[in-house]
Amino acid sequence: MNPTFNSGIDYFNLESGTTNAVKVKSSNENRSKQTASGPNTYGDAAAVDSYGETAAPSSEYEVVAAIAHTLAAPKITLGSLIASGSSNISVGGSVVPIVIGSLQINTSTGASPKITVSGQAVQSGATALRAYIPPAFNLSPRHRAQDFFGLCTIKKGSGTLTVADAGVDYGLESVNGNLPIEFTLAQPKGVLKNYDLHGGMATIDYVMNWYGSGAPTIVCAATVTLRTSSANSSNTSTVNTTMSNPVAKSCPEGGYTQYTWQVSFPLIGYEVA
């Protein structure tokens, strides 16, 4: 086999971090560089320069065993720094550390669950600054849509509601989560000298086919708990969730009634350095 075939790189050491519950599927360095040009009297480019080389690597993983992520024992922490010795990323001829910046979890019926992690190359000698631990979640290797954060309960009936049967009344088609952290970079004269990061907004998107009579009632958790200190899980913060998109209903010809909605909540971290 050619050594470059199927040679995805685990930039974020997630295979070992999950005790091989995930396996790297593909990866990308996502390199970029800025350019500048100056026109002559006739409007043609007389000078061209490039500067500000950087990389924002990403790795996609397939889930092959159950993952139980808790606040006390997180499987992934946004803001974590991967030291230059194991980052596999070189910028400007020097191997540099990278910082984990976002987590995506994708589950759907008939496909293996996938996790995508992306990050940012930072300056040599950089240290971790902040940590953002996602809420507790459970992820199965089964090839089905999963409410991994346990945010929503589907109910049916009128008056006194009962929990709908996932085997008869409805079918989750997909549940996808996106948890991003925002980076800011200091690049005087195009050379990265410093970085920082701050919290983003997590969004969880649901697609559900409905087979029951009447309309479903979707009850979503009002809050989630985040870890907000380095002291294990003893210091936590409860943040509000929002159904940021109204529940949307579609009834296609030749298909079943489908509902889509989105739940969001802020990400709050804590100082590491």
Choice among 77-86, 237-246, 261-270 with the minimum mean pLDDT: 237-246
Choice among 1-15, 39-53, 62-76, 189-203 with the minimum mean pLDDT: 1-15
For the cut 80, the answer to whether the pLDDT of residue 247 exceeds it is yes
**pLDDT score recorded for residue 250:** 95
Tokens at residue 228, please? 């907000």
| Torsions phi, psi for 15 (to 5 deg) | -60, -50
For the cut 80, the answer to whether the pLDDT of residue 246 exceeds it is no
Q: What does the pLDDT average to over 20-36? A: 94
The answer for residues whose C-beta is within 8 angstroms of residue 89's C-beta and 6 or more apart is 11, 29, 55, 57, 95, 96, 98, 121
**pLDDT score recorded for residue 233:** 66
The model's pLDDT over 133-189, given as tens digits with 9 standing for 90+, comes to 999 999 999 999 999 999 999 999 888 899 999 999 999 999 999 999 999 999 998
**pLDDT score recorded for residue 259:** 96
**pLDDT score recorded for residue 5:** 87
Tokens at residue 7, please? 């040679």
Question: Whole-number mean pLDDT of the chain?
Answer: 93
**pLDDT score recorded for residue 3:** 81
The whole-model pTM stands at: 0.93
Taking the C-alpha atoms of residue 166 and residue 223, their distance in angstroms, rounded to an integer, is 24
Q: How far is CA 65 from CA 41, 113, 206, in A?
A: 64, 10, 23
Sign of torsion, CA 161 168 66 176?
Answer: negative
Q: What does the pLDDT average to over 203-210? A: 96
Percentage of residues in the chain with pLDDT exceeding 70?
98
**pLDDT score recorded for residue 130:** 96
For the cut 90, the answer to whether the pLDDT of residue 55 exceeds it is yes
User: If pLDDT is split at 50, 70 and 90, which confidence band does 263 have?
Assistant: very high
**pLDDT score recorded for residue 144:** 97
Listed in sequence order, the DSSP H helices in the chain are 14-17, 84-87
Residues 164, 155: contact at Cβ < 8 Å? yes
**pLDDT score recorded for residue 57:** 96
